[in-house]
């Protein structure tokens, strides 16, 4: 089935391009309590995600470094933005929400308030080969929070 | 052939390939990924279908009519390969599942029993993983060492450095005929001459050579030549190992099973003769039928015509890509075939791939199973446009227009 010409802009929305060009929270995080790698070897997407969790179980800060396509970099940048100040158990719920949102066909689905900006990634659902780029950082977050020593991958 | 005549030829051949005549995302398909897998002409598709509809049975076994026909079709394909690459005997044509299996066969059957610790296997930095990993495995098994000749910034093998590596410790040299990631046509004449003078055998990974060049294994003077049917308009899962008969003859079987034996008892098994010694189990019969039909198709055109047409189109593609501001080309060898790797501005290759796909243009993105090449250039991957005889200048123009669109989106 053919897509309309405008749909490419649906994937590469301004917010995505903006975050890909100038990723927020980029770089190593000093004092990180949790860290994990996310690697998609076939793609070449590669990132390290750092999280600092306070004693009361709240994510104080999230940073990442790495290289990859616009979708993977923007997703990681948006993640780092959205996860600051979030309790760990809620962060895990966000991982589930985003990964299921991007892998199911429910465009009208409501999104949690703290993930509002992530609707910018919705266009990815139309590009099955690119969903793995969008979910990589989220799988890395899950790996970091569960202290999984194995790098996350979505390929 | 004049440029106009060349364009006309390309249009003519294009009509033979049904898969090219479709729209993708609302635009007529431009298929520029033949180096990954080429499309098949109707002649190949029909030959395989006819085999399945009318002639299918097992080979070399039955006394009945269909088994006879299947055997004739399968062995007929071997004869076609023999002529196509000018082998000196059909016994030299081993039908395999593809280039990868062919190279593994040589690594495990020719090299493994004879390699000693400290022996050297010489390859180059531009090899496909299929011409790296099998050698790493046999090095691990035997204590032999892998020596890698460097490439220069144009993506050419540094020949003098490679020749220096080929010395009396070298057991075998394995090198691509044409690089899949960079399009470089490697200086195989000089490498083979140097190796031969020292009695060292040479294997050529011909996966990207056979679809574009006129191959005469005797004139080339190598010892093994490996290639795949699906890069040359045939089906996947079928390929060839050509080897010089005296070498193949001295090699032990690689895999055991039916068809590769003359007589089996629990005391002793007598192996079959060449080439069956290396073809254990029921082979990919329909794949061989398709390979044979692909050879008929290519011979009908003439490989010299294919090469001339593609060279003209390749030069046009490179010239047009160079005109795009922000274009970085990877692979600028003096002698190239079919392939151009590139990056545009700082757009990741997968984003290029998606934007092109959206406009009906199919290219490959990523590391092209040649990670060391990407490491050499310090990049995670490239976009790669690869040509075949069915492409034309309009395809190149569509590629360029789609790339300009990508620039606009990422501006």
Say if strands B261-264 and B269-271 run parallel, antiparallel, or are unpaired.
antiparallel
Q: Confidence band (pLDDT; 50, 70, 90) for A108?
A: low
- Which residues of chain B neighbour A74 with C-beta distances below 8 Å? none
- Which residues of chain A neighbour B370 with C-beta distances below 8 Å? none
CA proximity to B286, closest of B4, B39, B49 = B49
B18 and B153 assigned to the same domain: no
**Sign of dihedral through CA atoms B234, B236, B237, B241?**
positive
- Against a cut of 0.90, is the pTM above it? yes
**Quick check: is B369 catalytic?**
yes
Structure tokens at B304: 């010299």
Rounded Cα gap, residues B256 and B279, in angstroms: 9
Rounded Cα gap, residues B349 and A56, in angstroms: 42
Interface test with B, best of A8, A16, A127, A134 (most B CBs within 10 A): A8
CB B182 within 8 A of CB B203: no
- Which residues of chain B neighbour A42 with C-beta distances below 8 Å? 366-367
Question: Would you call A17 an interface residue with chain B, using a CB distance cutoff of 8 Å?
Answer: yes
Structure tokens at B349: 């290759």
Tell me the percentage of chain B whose pLDDT exceeds 90: 91
Domain boundary among B300, B317, B340: B300
CB contact under 8 A, A44 and B366: yes
pLDDT digits (tens, 9 = 90+) for A81-95: 999 999 999 999 999
% helix / strand / coil in chain A, to the nearest 5?
50, 20, 35
What is the average pLDDT value for chain A, to the nearest integer? 90
pLDDT at B262 over 70: yes
Rounded Cα gap, residues B91 and B127, in angstroms: 28
pLDDT digits (tens, 9 = 90+) for B360-400: 999 999 999 999 999 999 998 999 999 999 999 999 999 99
DSSP symbols for B76-96: HHHHHHHHHTT-S-GGGEEEE
Look up the CATH number of the domain holding residue A56: 3.90.1010.10
Q: Which residues, in sequence order, are CB contacts of A105 under 8 Å at separation 6+?
A: A125
Residues 97-136 of A with CB under 8 A from B: 127, 129-130, 133
Look up the CATH number of the domain holding residue B342: 3.90.1150.10
Burial class of residue B334 (count of CB atoms within 10 Å of its CB; 0-12, 13-18, 19+): exposed
Distance from CA of A115 to the nearest CA of B (A): 24
B311 and B203 assigned to the same domain: no
Say if strands B239-243 and B224-228 run parallel, antiparallel, or are unpaired.
antiparallel
Cα–Cα–Cα angle for A69, A99, A104, rounded to 5 degrees: 105
pLDDT digits (tens, 9 = 90+) for B355-368: 999 999 999 999 99
CA proximity to B19, closest of B48, B50, B47, B41 = B41
Rounded Cα gap, residues A19 and B272, in angstroms: 64
Rounded Cα gap, residues A11 and B145, in angstroms: 48
Distance from CA of B267 to the nearest CA of A (A): 48
CB B156 within 8 A of CB B185: no
Question: Would you call B351 an interface residue with chain A, using a CB distance cutoff of 8 Å?
Answer: yes
CB B347 within 8 A of CB B410: yes
Nearest to B366 among A7, A43, A127 (CB): A43
B14 and B129 assigned to the same domain: no
Structural domains in chain A (count): 1
Domain that holds residue B16: 3-41+302-409
B296 and B306 assigned to the same domain: no
Rounded Cα gap, residues A83 and A114, in angstroms: 8
The helix (run of H) or strand (run of E) holding residue B323 is none
Interface TM-score (ipTM) > 0.85: yes
Look up the CATH number of the domain holding residue B153: 3.40.640.10
pLDDT value at residue B2: 60
B120 and B269 assigned to the same domain: yes
Catalytic residue among B139, B186, B222, B369: B369
Residue A7 forms part of a structural domain:
no
* Region B101-106 average pLDDT: 98
- Which residues of chain B neighbour A44 with C-beta distances below 8 Å? 348-350, 366-367, 374, 380-381
CB contact under 8 A, A46 and B380: yes
Nearest to A3 among B25, B348, B409 (CB): B25
Structural domains in chain B (count): 2
DSSP symbols for A55-124: TTSBEEEEEEEEE--HHHHHHHHHHHHHHTT-BHHHHHHHHHHHHHHHHS--TT----GGGGGGGGGGGG
Rounded Cα gap, residues A93 and A96, in angstroms: 5
Nearest to B409 among A8, A69, A127 (CB): A8
pLDDT value at residue A2: 40
pLDDT digits (tens, 9 = 90+) for B193-240: 999 999 999 999 999 999 999 999 999 999 999 999 999 999 999 999
Token pair 């052939």: residue: B1
- Which residues of chain A neighbour B354 with C-beta distances below 8 Å? 11, 127, 129-130
Domain boundary among B300, B321, B349: B300
pLDDT value at residue A3: 45
Domain boundary among B265, B300, B335: B300
B22 and B72 assigned to the same domain: no
How many A/B residue pairs have CB atoms within 8 Å? 54
pLDDT digits (tens, 9 = 90+) for A70-82: 999 999 999 999 9
Question: Would you call A7 an interface residue with chain B, using a CB distance cutoff of 8 Å?
Answer: yes
């Amino acid at each position: 089935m053919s897509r309309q010409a405008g749909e490419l802009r649906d994937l590469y929305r301004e917010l995505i391009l903006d975050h890909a060009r100038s990723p927020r929270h980029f770089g190593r995080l000093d004092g990180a309590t949790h860290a994990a790698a996310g690697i998609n070897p076939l793609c070449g997407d590669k990132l390290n995600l750092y999280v600092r969790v306070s004693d009361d179980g709240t994510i104080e800060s999230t940073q990442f470094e790495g290289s990859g396509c616009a979708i993977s970099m923007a997703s990681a940048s948006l993640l780092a933005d959205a996860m600051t100040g979030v309790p760990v158990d809620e962060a895990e719920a966000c991982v589930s929400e985003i990964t299921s949102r991007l892998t199911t066909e429910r465009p009208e689905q409501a999104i949690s308030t703290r993930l509002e900006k992530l609707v910018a990634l919705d266009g990815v659902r139309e590009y099955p080969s690119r969903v793995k780029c969008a979910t990589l950082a989220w799988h890395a977050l899950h790996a970091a929070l569960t202290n999984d020593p194995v790098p996350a991958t979505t390929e | 052939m004049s440029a106009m005549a060349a364009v006309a030829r390309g249009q003519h051949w294009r009509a033979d390939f049904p898969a090219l005549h479709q729209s993708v995302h609302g635009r007529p398909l431009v298929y520029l990924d033949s180096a990954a897998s080429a499309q098949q002409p109707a002649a190949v598709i029909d030959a395989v279908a006819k085999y399945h509809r009318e002639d299918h049975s097992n080979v070399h076994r039955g006394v009945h009519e269909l088994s006879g026909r299947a055997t004739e079709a399968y062995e007929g394909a071997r004869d076609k390969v023999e002529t196509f690459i000018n082998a000196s005997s059909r016994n030299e044509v081993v039908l395999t599942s593809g280039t990868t299996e062919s190279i593994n066969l040589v690594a495990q059957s020719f090299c493994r029993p004879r390699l000693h610790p400290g022996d050297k296997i010489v390859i180059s930095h531009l090899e496909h993983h299929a011409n790296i990993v099998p050698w790493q495995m046999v090095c691990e098994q035997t204590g032999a060492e892998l020596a890698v000749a460097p490439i220069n910034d144009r993506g050419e093998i540094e020949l003098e450095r490679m020749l220096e590596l080929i010395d009396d410790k070298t057991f075998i040299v394995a090198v691509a005929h044409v690089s899949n990631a960079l399009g470089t046509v490697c200086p195989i004449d000089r490498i083979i001459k140097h190796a031969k003078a020292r009695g060292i055998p040479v294997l050529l990974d011909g996966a990207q050579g056979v679809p574009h060049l006129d191959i005469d294994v005797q004139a080339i003077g190598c010892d093994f030549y490996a290639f795949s049917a699906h890069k040359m308009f045939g089906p996947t899962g079928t390929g060839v190992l050509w080897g010089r008969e005296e070498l193949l003859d001295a090699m032990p079987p690689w895999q055991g099973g039916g068809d590769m034996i003359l007589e089996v008892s629990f005391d002793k098994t007598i192996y079959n003769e060449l080439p069956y010694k290396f073809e254990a189990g029921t082979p990919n019969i329909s794949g061989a039928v398709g390979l044979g039909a692909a050879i008929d198709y290519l011979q009908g055109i003439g490989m010299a015509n294919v090469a001339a047409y593609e060279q003209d189109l390749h030069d046009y593609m490179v010239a047009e890509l160079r005109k795009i501001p922000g274009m970085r080309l990877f692979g600028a060898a003096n002698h190239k075939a079919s392939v151009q790797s590139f990056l545009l501005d700082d757009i990741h290759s997968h984003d290029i791939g998606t934007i092109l796909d959206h406009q009906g243009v199919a290219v490959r993105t990523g590391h092209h199973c040649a990670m060391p090449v990407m490491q050499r250039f310090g990049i995670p991957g490239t976009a790669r446009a690869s040509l075949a005889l069915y492409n034309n200048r309009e395809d190149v123009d569509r590629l360029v227009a789609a790339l300009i669109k990508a620039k606009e989106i990422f501006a």
